[in-house]
Structure 1
Amino acid sequence: MKLRNSFQAHISFVLALLLLIVIGAVYFAVKAATVTAASDQAENQLKNGTRVFERFVDFRARRIQYGLNWLTNDQDFREAVIDGRPQEIENALETFEASLRDSDLFVLDLQGKIIISILASLPPGQTFPYAQALSQARRGSQIKLIGILDERPYMMVQGVVLAPLPVMRVVSAMPMDEVFAQELRTLSNLEVSFLGVKDGRSGALASTQPEAMSESIVRFLRDNPPGPLTHFSEFAGKRFLGQLLQLANSGDPANGQVMALLQSPLDQTLQAFTSLDRKFLWISLAALLASLLGALWLAREVSRPVSLLAAAAQRIGRGDYSTPVVLKRRDELGFLAKAFNAMQNGIAVREQQLAHNALHDPLTGLPNRALVMERLGSAITARRSVVLIYLGIENYRLISESSGPEGLELIMLKTTHVLIEALPESSTAARITGNEFLLLLENTQVDAGVAMADHLYGVLSQPLNIDGHDVQLDVRMGISVYPTHGQTAEELMARAAIARSDAAALTGYLQVYQQDRDLAHQRQIQLIRDLRHAASDGELFIQYQPKLDLRSGHVSQAEALLRWQHPVFGVVSPAEFIPLAERSGSMKLLTDWVIEASIRQLAEWNRRGLHLQLSINISADDLRGDGLAQQVQALLAQYQVAAQQLTFEITESAVMHDPEHSLAVLRGLRDCGISLSVDDFGTGYSSLAHLKRLPVQELKIDQSFVRNLDEASEDAVIVRSTIEMSHNLGLKVVAEGVEYPHSLDLLKRWQCDTAQGYLISRPLDAAAFESWLNELRATA
């Protein structure tokens, strides 16, 4: 007993000494950490307030933008702007004062000259100081622009009146004054100050701080550079943590600087921790006393719980997660026992989850490829009839770009919900890639599978509302059937994928696998693979189709047409390999080869005294880069060919993929001296309204309107009207697909400039074309 008591006393003394040291160290460490935490809290408050500040500024800018959108789309305002009636414009502006409150409005023409102004310092007739900067911001997709007007900081937002092209600009300028600063202070709990500096002169300070601090704040703003660093400052005996931001974003230093100072009061934060420090002192003393009293009890009770926990650890190590640790204690050892139980339950759940994740899609929870192939194999083994629907979302990438990752995930979840609700319980819906699903319908025939696909298409084609925007899925499906289309899971899967690929390439949304489509699919794969090396292997060649000048009867132009002599399949039609090149990303490689080969041929003909203008087709992929004009210029210089001997033919659909960038590339080509022609006019996006924006000199009427041209047909009305309107726009007109003499006579009568087609000549290789041209000239 004495030994036991002596042992307990020794443990109690050691524990008491350790507790005294630990609690004392913790107290002083916490006291030191309190000061650091106060500073960190002030700094976090400053960072959070800075983010609130930036988001609120963006929110106000978007709010102003919404008001401007209402204004610029208002029928009365647009009519007043288009007619140029200042008084009616002002009346329309007064109608929208509520949605654009606290803002000064300016109406500008497209050159930036002020038509109507609210500020007296910027009267009508002057050029708006930030007109060019606002245009650049709009091109850069920036909503707001911050600058200095009337020696005060302003946040400016621009709207454009379209009819349908831009005709006028409306600028809403909101002053960043004391009212704006107070509103920011309410939201961010920070002191806010704004100052504009232009030409070395400071404007009036707008601040939430007392006026007595104004001079010190102005001096601080002028003496310290803006940036992400946190500044410690003291004004009128008060300490602050602050961050200095530069808001002006016009890109021109001559427009001045707008600076914002965000300050978090450090003294208030430290004061909030004073009571906490006192409370922690009393808590520490109480904890020390309680620890001394419990030392003996802890020494006596510590051995039994430890042995129980050790036994539990050994059991968990052996993989037994079913037996819990029973320890009815409320101290740390009891908590540790609960933690042991939670740990073993967590390990069991994670093992189950890992097994589930190995066979299911992590986003939708649907079976993945491995699990659906396993179920398909089981159905085949049991000889149950199976319909496999391979469903793909064709506009997946476009949805991802427009809706973002969160919107895309929401769309996938809604699609999953539709599939689960539509399929019977015995069926399986699986997600096998990001945009592809596989539907396994057991004990089902092909007719029922087609009916199910029709039902799914009807449901999935309904627009989905994502964050206030309607998103419509472009769904294509392919069907394969066991045992008709294959005897293994891999065969059925591959053939359903082929059917889905056919559905994407053809009209409609659904295709049932057709026998021998594997061969066509393998041919496409072989062509895509070989297309990358066709130019380097010498398999590509060009044929030239003459273009007849209908006024002079001479041929001084031709179109370069790409052809492919495949070593296995022979001559492959452009209608087959051009779409494959566009899908596989090889189109630019082909265009580069055609351009160089055509320029090289022009140089050869020039040396022989045969001076021609050659037309070359370029695609949407060629307009995506920035170096096309420089590349062509380098080739023209290398082969000493004049730029006027080239004409690039483009379709309006190619330009519409990225209009702004495409127009910049076309202007660069036009500045080099290369002529531009609109190909396939009358199809796709073609319209005379779009022609106004394109820097083209020629229009090419699509052959579908010319091939069966008859004076009494609807095509005649279209062709004749197009020729007249194009001439009024200063464009030359080429009619392609001329195959009959009466069609040529009609085109001559309607004063079409150029004709091209089999009536004149089929496409010829270079030698045959040269011989044909020499014979034509000799006959003439």
Structure 2
Amino acid sequence: MMIKSFRSRLLVSFMTLAGAVLIISLVAVWLATSQQSERTLERELEVSERVFAELMDVRAQQLQQAAEVLTTDFGFREAVASGDENTIISALINHGERIGTDLIVLQSPNGEEIAATHTSQLLPSIENLTAGKSAAQLVLVDDEIFQIVTVPVRAPDLIAWATLGFGVDDDFAVLMRQLTHADITFMNRQQRNVFASSLDEEILAQIEDPAIALNTALDNLNLAANVSGFNDIQYALSNDPNLVILFSTDEFAATSEFVTLQQQYLVIALATLIFAVLLAMITARKINQPVASLTRAAEQLGAGDYNQPITLQRNDEFGALGAAFETMRQGISQREQQIMYQLQHDLLTGLPNRVSLRDYLSRAIQSKQNGYVVLLNVARFGEVNDRFGQQVGDRLLQMISQRLRDSAPEQWWIGRLAGDEFVLIGEGQSEPQTKALLRDVEQTLSQPWWLDETSYLLEFRAGYLTFPNIGDDADSILRRAQICARQAKQRNAFAVAYEHGMDEQHLRRLQIVQALPSAVREQRLQLHYQPKVNCNDGRILGVEALLRWRDEHLGVVRPDEFIPLAEQTGEINRLTRWVCTAAFDQLQLWHEQGLQLALAINLSALDLQWPDLVKFLREAAQKRGLSPQSITLEVTESAVMVEPEQAIKRLTQLREAGFKIAIDDYGTGYASLAQLKRLPVDELKLDRSFIQDIANSHADLTIVRSTLALAHELQLTTVAEGIEEESAWQILQQLGCDTVQGYYFSRPLAATQFEQWLRDYQGVSP
């Protein structure tokens, strides 16, 4: 069940925290004492084993001394030497009773029994007994364990071996327990026979029970034990691995002090927990009271009730929190108003923003009242920001919005759509009134734009349309107004009204953008080649590769349609790679056929910003065995002027790589003579606009003559395109032009068509 009360949750949290701390500490203490008790038991048993070994050594020394007393006795040695059996037996018995031995055996040097209390056949061989492993040895004889010692009897040569032994019985085990503080049991682990032990009979009964595993029996009896194999003892002679000595102690008795410590700590933990619960209840009550008051105040604020003051008479943090609530209550109304204003207005210009614009336009459409929407765009405003900075751009936008307020009548609603776009909406306004507004706005905006004693040149484009006839929703109306503004830019007009069919052009652009990547990827583009002719003798010098695209849905798509879109969408580099690859392949094929033609390829402004352009072109030419000198790269003036420094750097690299550089459409861009002087150019290509009417236009003739003279002074090759009449060719011959191309010679042709045209042309050319 979920606890909803803060007081209850606080109480539970205190109790949980205190309980967790106590449990963790209790577990830690419990584990520590348990581990310590185990280590203590292990150390005690290890000490018991060492004490046992030392005691066995002392006992062995005593037995060794007693045996040496017997074997050095003159009478005993004489009896052994003479073979007096009665004397030998009497001496052995007397000596054994005197020192308390339980086993006496006398053997000849070769191991034959002379006299014995136990048959010598049960003893290990005389070789093992006399191997010198230890002064005293443990052996198993007739299901009894003896600690024995074997010493030689010499007179003076070896005449016998005397073996004396103490019995290892329960009394011995009890004595060892008193000295080692551990119970000692001598047993056969497999047969579970106990030979001697200091344990009680009840305990021995379970240890001897073969139905219970030894470890299980020890666990049931709560005995901590160490088991030493009989063979692990240095003085044991048995090879039976099941003979063991069991050292054990009562686990409860050994760890009683640790258990007492654990119990005491448990009592202390319970007392601490009870105290923590009582303290938590008192603390939770004190904390909950101001929290409850602040909760009620927050509910009032959430409901929109800002009239009830919040008072909390306390001098602690809750009092400060109550004062903060009161400050919040006083300022929340103002902030709501500010938030609503910022939500609906542009912070830079103070005009209604996109949100307000959509709401206002949607309400106007729903009212079924006719009106006009005017969208105003600042042409090339991005260049202003780039050249003069964002701060200058922002101040100019503020000035534009103020002029719109001053020039527009009150009936027109003004808002900022985004960036450099402004929208004026006139409900109930007619077409004449809208055109009058556009005239006033154009006149106002055409005035100089002075800012900090600097005049800025701004151009404006506008699109306008009526609603709700042309559009029944805000998005479609604004989109069509933007299309009109773009048309105004293309037509170099201030304002353009919406006409039916503009949407189709917009949709066609979208379709081209969508289809272009797949057309490049699937190689559905084609290259056509237009011959370049020597102006003096008409020889074919080379070709210009021109891109063509025929789509099954879009039909013929002109380069001036899809090239700008390719630049906008980032497809231009991929398009350039395809064009260069296809053109280089064709040029390689022609060279292999013996047609030593030159090739011209057009590059865009974005191509000049491509870092790998030089590497790509150089490797593509080398791969096909083409000389870069046979390839001319044409760039327009406008492409060079987008990023002049970058363009000059890239063109210089291309020229150093061996390629020829041509300026295309010269005279139509913005390049100055100073820029032309810096460009690494081999060729100037005059735009067709100066050539088509050169026979009839004195101005065109003058421009072409001066351009050709300038190019020759700069040692540049000249190319004139757009030759459509023989008269134009003749004039260019007289003016000294180097190369010409145009429909007079041939339109751009596919590769196979061009080859046929070339054969026909060379067959009739002089």
TM range (shorter): 0.5 to 0.7
Q: Which of 402, 409, 416 is the aligned partner of 1:417?
A: 402
- Provide the residue aligned with 2:340 in structure 1: 355
- Provide the residue aligned with 2:463 in structure 1: 478
Matched, 1:581 2:566: yes
- Provide the residue aligned with 2:742 in structure 1: 757
Match of 1:774, as an amino acid? R
Matched, 1:777 2:738: no
The Cα shift of 1:719 comes to 1.9
The Cα shift of 1:656 comes to 1.5
Match of 1:778, as an amino acid? G
Q: Which of 412, 416, 437 is the aligned partner of 1:452?
A: 437
- Provide the residue aligned with 1:555 in structure 2: 540
Match of 1:757, as an amino acid? G
Cα deviation code 1:514-563 (max 9, x no counterpart): 11211111111111222232211222111111111123431021111111
Matched, 1:617 2:580: no
The Cα shift of 1:628 comes to 1.5
Matched, 1:662 2:647: yes
CA contact (8 A) 2:376 2:462 kept: yes
- Provide the residue aligned with 2:636 in structure 1: 651
Higher gyration radius (CA) = 2
Matched, 1:739 2:719: no
Q: 3-state DSSP class of the match of 2:519?
A: coil
User: In 1, Cα distance between the equivalents of 2:457 and 2:323?
Assistant: 51
The Cα shift of 1:356 comes to 3.5
CA contact (8 A) 2:662 2:681 kept: yes
Q: Which of 550, 574, 579 is the aligned partner of 1:565?
A: 550
User: In 1, Cα distance between the equivalents of 2:732 and 2:399?
Assistant: 55
User: In 2, Cα distance between the equivalents of 1:597 and 1:479?
Assistant: 45
Distance verdict in 2 for CA 1:679–1:348, change over 3 Å: same
Q: Which of 673, 678, 687 is the aligned partner of 1:693?
A: 678
Distance verdict in 2 for CA 1:681–1:318, change over 3 Å: closer
Matched, 1:503 2:503: no
The Cα shift of 1:466 comes to 4.4
The Cα shift of 1:502 comes to 1.4
- Provide the residue aligned with 1:35 in structure 2: none
- Provide the residue aligned with 2:101 in structure 1: none
The Cα shift of 1:686 comes to 4.8
Cα deviation code 1:689-716 (max 9, x no counterpart): 4332221121112112221222773322
Match of 2:394, as an amino acid? E
Q: Which of 359, 364, 371 is the aligned partner of 1:386?
A: 371
Distance verdict in 2 for CA 1:325–1:483, change over 3 Å: closer
Cα deviation code 1:186-210 (max 9, x no counterpart): xxxxxxxxxxxxxxxxxxxxxxxxx
User: In 2, Cα distance between the equivalents of 1:558 and 1:310?
Assistant: 84
User: In 1, Cα distance between the equivalents of 2:395 and 2:701?
Assistant: 51
Cα deviation code 1:161-197 (max 9, x no counterpart): xxxxxxxxxxxxxxxxxxxxxxxxxxxxxxxxxxxxx
Aligned residues: 479
- Provide the residue aligned with 1:706 in structure 2: 691
User: In 2, Cα distance between the equivalents of 1:500 and 1:307?
Assistant: 60
**Superposition CA RMSD, Å:** 3.0
Q: 3-state DSSP class of the match of 2:678?
A: coil
Distance verdict in 2 for CA 1:686–1:337, change over 3 Å: closer
Q: 3-state DSSP class of the match of 2:509?
A: helix
Q: 3-state DSSP class of the match of 1:699?
A: strand
CA contact (8 A) 1:390 1:500 kept: yes
Distance verdict in 2 for CA 1:375–1:554, change over 3 Å: same
Q: Which runs of 5+ in 2 are unaligned?
A: 1-288
Distance verdict in 2 for CA 1:321–1:704, change over 3 Å: same
- Provide the residue aligned with 2:103 in structure 1: none
What TM-score, normalized by structure 2, do the two folds share?
0.58
User: In 2, Cα distance between the equivalents of 1:326 and 1:339?
Assistant: 10
User: In 2, Cα distance between the equivalents of 1:452 and 1:593?
Assistant: 50
CA contact (8 A) 2:573 2:610 kept: no
CA contact (8 A) 1:548 1:754 kept: yes
User: In 1, Cα distance between the equivalents of 2:523 and 2:298?
Assistant: 72
Distance verdict in 2 for CA 1:306–1:553, change over 3 Å: closer
Cα deviation code 1:352-377 (max 9, x no counterpart): 33333333334333323332222222
- Provide the residue aligned with 2:700 in structure 1: 715
The Cα shift of 1:766 comes to 0.4
User: In 2, Cα distance between the equivalents of 1:617 and 1:533?
Assistant: 22
- Provide the residue aligned with 1:121 in structure 2: none
Match of 1:413, as an amino acid? Q
User: In 2, Cα distance between the equivalents of 1:427 and 1:699?
Assistant: 53
- Provide the residue aligned with 1:601 in structure 2: 586
User: In 1, Cα distance between the equivalents of 2:550 and 2:318?
Assistant: 82
Matched, 1:438 2:400: no
The Cα shift of 1:463 comes to 4.2
- Provide the residue aligned with 1:39 in structure 2: none
Q: 3-state DSSP class of the match of 1:505?
A: helix
The Cα shift of 1:335 comes to 7.7
CA contact (8 A) 2:542 2:598 kept: yes
Distance verdict in 2 for CA 1:559–1:336, change over 3 Å: closer
CA contact (8 A) 2:407 2:444 kept: no
- Provide the residue aligned with 1:592 in structure 2: 577
- Provide the residue aligned with 2:528 in structure 1: 543
Q: Which runs of 5+ in 1 are unaligned?
A: 1-303
Cα deviation code 1:586-622 (max 9, x no counterpart): 3333222212211111111111111110111112111
Cα deviation code 1:664-683 (max 9, x no counterpart): 11111111111111211222
- Provide the residue aligned with 1:342 in structure 2: 327
User: In 2, Cα distance between the equivalents of 1:658 and 1:709?
Assistant: 33
What TM-score, normalized by structure 1, do the two folds share?
0.57
Distance verdict in 2 for CA 1:509–1:539, change over 3 Å: farther
